[in-house]
Structure formats: structure tokens, C-alpha cells
A = this chain, B = another copy of it.
Amino acid sequence: VNVSFLQELFATIAEQGRQLLPRSLVRAQAERGDLSELVAALLSVRGEASGIAIARTILDRYRGFRAPERRRFLEYLAETLQPDPEVLARAARSYLDVPGQAALAALQRAVESPRQEFFRRLNSPPGATAEIVAMRRDLLDWVGEDPLLARVDADLMHLLSSWFNRGFLVLQRIDWQTPAAVLEKIIAYEAVHQIQGWNDLRRRLDPRDRRCFAFFHPSLIDEPLIFVEVALTSDIPDNIHSLLEEAPKGYVDGDAPRAAVFYSISNCQEGLRGISFGSFLIKRVVDDLLKEQPSLRTFATLSPLPGFAKWLRRALEGGEDEGPHLEAGERERLAHLGNLDPQPDPEHAAAIKTVVTRLAAHYLVVAKGADGRPVDPVARFHLGNGARLERINWPGDTSPKGMREALGVMVNYRYDVRDIEKNHEAFANTGAVATSRQVRALLKAELSLPETDVRRRLTSARPRRTETSE
């Protein structure tokens, strides 16, 4: 595929994105903070040239605002850019009288908030998309405490979902050839296992046994939307420390990597919160890795368990009925976990491991939130994508964060292309969690209890040849 023309073609985006329009065609309003006239002008203008200049001016003013002014502006949009209530009431009544196509179309027109047209026009100058995404990031800070702003958020979500439609995303490999301007974003945005500067980053991009991929949008220059870090290994790793520290492996033909391990997935754009790119990313990356490395047999994650400690604390407080069954002495052992010796004596460690992994299995498979889905957000994400709960590792992450949030546990979810659809559908329809034999063994005790509903929450993963090597 010859892609050069396209590349040249998009070169101008960058230029657009980094230039401001040379001059404002719009006279300044007396009070800097009051953009009402400009908002009205943008919505009423019919000429292209002035429309772009007005939009540019609004965006510049907004960027110059401090937080209170920004909030006031967003509230102004929430209050004023509402559908005309009389027109809407009339349209609603007409529709109820004669619910035909014409009445429906009129009602559709009447009900759309003028904010949507406002934001569409605001998006016309070069670089505007990034600024609108930033505007929503501001909005999210206040929308919780200010229900008025929910109106603006609804309209922004509607537009951004359309603009950031998955058909427009571009997958890009991140490596040491990537511009520093993007790499420093990767360092900043890594949300799972912090990157300790440029040397750490270089290790994570080492072409010999690491991969990193990100999604970009044509209109957000230098800004990844989401990225995933992958390690090429021989086996599925059971802890993050050795993975991050191990020496680069220059795989050669005879000893090619067999597993691709997704050990960190980070969303980058706070302003796009609620628009999900993750599952799409994983699917694309699996495809790309398979093309590049035909030796790969296993795709799995090494994932945190961010809600485990919190859930367990509540479960233990709540008593036997709600929480997991605890054997004698286990409660005591758990109590010691907080000030766990980094290198506990083997016997102690084995005992802790037994109880912690069993409880983690319960947490992931049996415990459910009010919506009937797993409590853990990472589990919801991967199980919802069709992955199987493969293995529960302890100690997996003994960093302060790992101990605090998950008592040191890490989890492998496994993506087996033959089961993804089946797992996904079972999980979506019945909430059943696909588990490996190994995980089911952890739950054996609970499964033998007659009253448990554990059994129906489990999906028996079809036995496979490849499992024998596990």
C-alpha cells in the first residue's frame, strides 16, 4: 500500500492545529467575561468567514478564562441555548394529535438543543476539536455538583460520540521513532504502572520484546486517545515487577514469543470520558500482533484488581451472609496483610496466598454490584469483552498502590479468539463469568455448599489442547 499521498494530505492538519487565525474579525466585547453576543453571533451568522472568526474568538476567550469564568460561561450555555418551549410544546401537541411523519420530523427539529448547532459551528476553526474536548474536561469537574451543566454534557457527549466514532480512529504503533511530543504524553498519561522517566519508557518500547499501540483521531494532533502496553513473553507472567524489570529478549526464530501480555491500558483524554475505545483497541492490536508475530499462541492481560481491598473490607464488616465464607483463622491472617513483610517466610506466604486468592476469586466471580455485574471495573471491562478469568496471582503487585488497593493480587484475563464471542454473550445475557479450571478450583469449597448460586455464575470453558500446557 502506497500511503504517501495521504500522509502529505494530512500534513496540513498539523499546520492548522498549531496556528491561530491571524486576526479577529470580531470586535471585542466590553466585559471580557461576557461572551453572550459572540454566542448569539455564531448561531445567527450565515457567512463562513465570519463564522470561523467568531468561533476562534470564543475559543480564545474561553482559554484565557480562569475556572470561575469558564464555569459561568458553561452555565450560560446551559441556561440560554434551550429548545424554544413554545415551539416544542406546539410540536409535541401536533404529534400527539396526528402522529405522522411530518409531525415527527417537526418534533425532532423542535427538541434538539441549539447547543448542538453551537458546538458544531464552534468546531470549524483549525484546532477547535481539541479545545472542545478540553471544555468538556472542565465541565466534568463541575457537573456532579451542578445539575444544570448536565444539559451541556448531554449535548457534548452526543456530538463527541459522533465525531469520535470508531470508524475515524487510527491505530498507531508507539516506539522509539515516535516524536518526543507524543512520548511525553505517554509518560504523563500512563495510569496503571507509572513510567519512571525516559529510560523506563525506552524499556517499555524496546522492539525486542515490547509493543505499545495507541489510537489517535485525525483532529487531535499529538494526542493519543488510549494506549496499551504489551509484553511479548514465553509464558503468561504472574507479577508485574519481574515483567517491568526483566532484560529485553531478542527473540529469534527458534525461540519466538508465544504470549502477548497486555499489562497496561490507559485512557488519555479526560474530556472524552464515557466514550469507550478499549475493546476496539484490544481487538485491533491482537490482529496486528498476529500478523507481525505468527508464533503467538496466547493473548492475555496482567491486570490490577483496583476494588478488591475496599470490597473485602466492607464484606468482612458486613458479616458472613453477604461476604465470602472464611475458614477459621483466615480473618486473622488477612489482618496481617496490611503490614506485610515484603519477603514473608514461605510458610506464612503460602497461607496468605491460599486465603487471598480464594477471596479474590469470590470477589471476581461471585460478588456482584447492584446492577448484577462484577464489582471490579477492570473485570467488567475484560469479561465484557469476552475474556476468560484465567489466573489469580499472589503476590502480583507489592507496590504500595498494589497492596493498598488489591492486597498484592493481580489477575490474568485471557483472550481466546475462539471463545470471545461465546464468553461475551454469556456474560452480557446471564452475567456468567468464564473461568479457567484453575480459578474454579479456588472456588471449590464454595461450590460444594448447597445454597450457593455460584455454579450458575460460572461458565465452563470448553477444554482445549492448549490448556494442557498451563
Residues of A within 8 A of B (CB): 1-16, 18, 25, 46-50, 52, 82-83, 85, 88-89, 92-93, 95-96, 99, 101, 104-105, 107-108, 111-113, 120, 123-126, 128-129, 147, 150-151, 154, 159, 161-163, 165-168, 170-173, 175-183, 197-198, 202, 216, 218-219, 221-222, 279-280, 283, 384-386, 420-421, 424-425, 428
- State which of B1, B125, B280, B283 has its C-beta within 8 Å of the C-beta of A14: B1
Would A107 and B124 count as touching, CB distance under 8 A?
A: no
Residues on the B chain within 8 Å of A95, using CB? 88-89, 92
A4 to B95, CA, bound (A): 54
- State which of B9, B89, B107 has its C-beta within 8 Å of the C-beta of A172: B9
Would B167 and A125 count as touching, CB distance under 8 A?
A: yes
- State which of B2, B166, B167 has its C-beta within 8 Å of the C-beta of A8: B2
Would A111 and B120 count as touching, CB distance under 8 A?
A: no
Q: A107-B111, A120-B162 are contacts. A6–B11 as well, Cβ < 8 Å?
A: yes
Residues on the B chain within 8 Å of A104, using CB? 82-83, 88, 111
- State which of B108, B163, B172 has its C-beta within 8 Å of the C-beta of A112: B108
- State which of B105, B167, B202, B428 has its C-beta within 8 Å of the C-beta of A47: B428
Task: Specify the chain B residue showing the minimal Cβ separation from A9.
Answer: B172
Contacts beyond the supplied A8-B172, A49-B424, A120-B161: 18 A-B pairs with Cβ under 8 Å: A4-B9, A5-B178, A6-B221, A7-B8, A7-B11, A9-B170, A48-B279, A49-B385, A49-B386, A49-B421, A92-B93, A101-B150, A123-B167, A124-B280, A125-B167, A162-B162, A168-B219, A176-B179
How many Å from the CB of A404 to the closest CB on chain B?
30
A96 to B89, CA, bound (A): 6
Task: Specify the chain B residue showing the minimal Cβ separation from A154.
Answer: B105
